Amino acid sequence: EAQVTQNPRYLITVTGKKLTVTCSQNMNHEYMSWYRQDPGLGLRQIYYSMNVEVTDKGDVPEGYKVSRKEKRNFPLILESPSPNQTSLYFCASSLFRDRDYEQYFGPGTRLTVT
């Protein structure tokens, strides 16, 4: 089954404790990205990656890191989480060529930072 997977689905952590949210896709997609969703703000892009070793900042990159060492994986790293990073996070992927730009979303990760 073609899908984007994220782990963990739910995470409660404390301020300053480094964490990683994994994202993997099995569709051989070139493009991957991370978003956060907050009430009244919609989804805001954190980082995106056009291909392996190529990443770019989105709208709200501060406090986040990403890496794209393999085509299928795109982990999101919070080196020192703070309460304002409490949010719902989505990973997404897209073929991004041949006029196929649809983003396929993972199920989301609910992160709470206390």
Partner 1 sequence: AQTVTQSQPEMSVQEAETVTLSCTYDTSESNYYLFWYKQPPSRQMILVIRQEAYKQQNATENRFSVNFQKAAKSFSLKISDSQLGDTAMYFCAFMMLDMRFGAGTRLTVKP
- What's at 77, amino acid-wise? I
| Residue 71 or 80 with smaller CB distance to partner 1 | 71
| Residue 59 or 70 with smaller CB distance to partner 1 | 59
Q: Which residues bind partner 1 (CB under 8 A)?
A: 33, 35, 40-45, 48, 50, 56, 58-59, 88, 90, 92, 99, 101-103, 105, 107-108
**Count of CB atoms within 10 A of residue 58's CB?**
17
| Residue 71 or 105 with smaller CB distance to partner 1 | 105
Give min distance, CB of 64 to partner 1, in A: 15
- What's at 52, amino acid-wise? V
C-beta of residue 50 within 8 angstroms of C-beta of residue 68 = no
* Distance (Å, whole) CA 1 – CA 18: 32
